[in-house]
Amino acid sequence: MGGGGFSMEPENPLLDDFILSQANAARPRVCFLPTASGDADGYIVGFYTAFASRAEASHLRLFYRTREDIEALLLGQDIIYVGGGNTENMLAVWRTHGLDRILRAAWEAGVILAGLSAGSICWFEAGTTDSFGPDLDVLTDGLGFLAGSHCPHYDGEAQRRPKYHRLVADGRLPAGYAADDGAALVFDGTELREVVASRPEATAYRVEAVEGVAHETRLPARYLG
């Protein structure tokens, strides 16, 4: 998700409903990873408020780790939902605790991987990030489950679109996908299956360099409302 879900649209559950529907279970097992926020208490409470009544909800803290066998926890889920925050910090902490390996194992086992902002960038090889300050910079050490780059909040922050265009055009980022707030890219394995949206106008884009100039292609989106 470029943006959306319970933390950005608490009165609009369409994207979260869609994620739950992909598990094909009456009460899916959903584990929330709030690492990018520093395991913020309020974020965790918000997750349970949104999910506890309709899913077997759990969360994994890494800054205050209390679970030993985190691999068993995550591989036992239907859905792993990653929150937003500082992407670079999150990836560093994940690697310290072996989550890069565990998340790949979960993905290969068919666990649904979802998230917004940092929780959307992380699955790609690279992307745009505000991890280092208010100005966007390049992130090049994503998990790499999905090829190319990613830019969330494409319509939600004024610098996102022009910065992503410049970074792709000059080769600092490979071609990739941008997603508006309220839009989600749905991958089946590594293939883009569709774009869905919680807002009628939200969508996603393919952005690539053509002779040194960024070329943007709007992708059709299915509005979930």
Active site amino acids: 117, 153
SS3 (DSSP) at 92 = helix
Task: Give 145's DSSP letter.
Answer: S
SS3 (DSSP) at 14 = helix
**How many angstroms separate the CA atoms of 48 and 72, rounded?**
21
**How many angstroms separate the CA atoms of 51 and 47, rounded?**
6
Handedness of CA 192, 126, 180, 214 (dihedral sign): negative
- In the β-sheet with 222-223, what is the strand arrangement from edge to edge? 183-188, 191-197, 222-223
User: Are residues 160 and 135 in contact, defined by beta-carbon separation less than 8 angstroms?
Assistant: no
